[in-house]
Structure 1
Amino acid sequence: MSSTDTSARSGAPIESNPIPASAELAWRQADHDVFVATNSGEFAGFVTVDNSTHVVHDRHSRRIGSYPTLAAARQALVDATRPPSRSRERLRRRILSRRR
């Protein structure tokens, strides 16, 4: 994240730990209650603020979930954009093979 990122409440810069380059999201505030994320220039998702709830949507506008803070909402989108781990991918394949 860059030093130009701002929080939904104060407009102050957000300090955070760097995200690995493969899952790095750039955030922009599109409106007072909408934050948009891009990954390598491609739309990655967005967060809307409704009172004290932060609702996260992925790049297909599918709802990921609701979170109490902007930081938690942003992290949820980062987690959703990360590639699956090998063990998780193996588990997914086993589950799908049982359905056939």
Structure 2
Amino acid sequence: MSTTTVPPSDPLTWKQADTDVHVATRGGEFAGFVEFDGAAHLVRDNRGTELGAFDSLDDAFRALEEVHEPARRESVFTPILPRAWRRRPRRARA
């Protein structure tokens, strides 16, 4: 089994598959879909996990796009200070 990695910076491409189904792809790979059930737009990701129900189609599209955005991680490294700032303060000699 092989997996394809698509850069998260590629935008989602939407196509209407049926009157009540819109399918999203990214780089040619399936990314998820939105289905209208008569009352709300149901969003599912590429694994079929339900992401929620939305009143408008635009809100449903946005929800799937937000799931596919890369998560921002905080830096685990401490910033390196310039050498002059790393020195201990000197005591005055008498």
Q: What TM bracket, shorter-length normalisation?
A: 0.5 to 0.7
Structure 2 residue identity aligned to 1:83? P
Seq. identity, %? 42
Q: Give the structure-2-normalised TM-score.
A: 0.68
- Is 1:29 aligned with 2:9? no
Per-residue CA distance 1:29-72 (angstroms, 9 max, x = gap)? 00000000000110000000011300000000110001000000
Alpha-carbon distance between aligned partners in 2 of 1:67 and 1:85, rounded to the nearest angstrom: 25
Residues 44-83 of structure 1: matches in 2 within 5 Å? 44-83=31-70
Structure 2 residue identity aligned to 1:61? G
Question: Number of residues paired by the alignment?
Answer: 69
Query: Rg: which structure is higher?
Result: 2
Q: Give the structure-1-normalised TM-score.
A: 0.64
The alignment's C-alpha RMSD in Å is: 1.8
Post-superposition shift, 1:23? Answer: 4.6
Gaps of 5+ in 2: 1-7, 77-94
Q: Which has the higher helix share?
A: 1
Which aligned runs of 4 or more in structure 1 are off by greater than 2 angstroms?
A: none
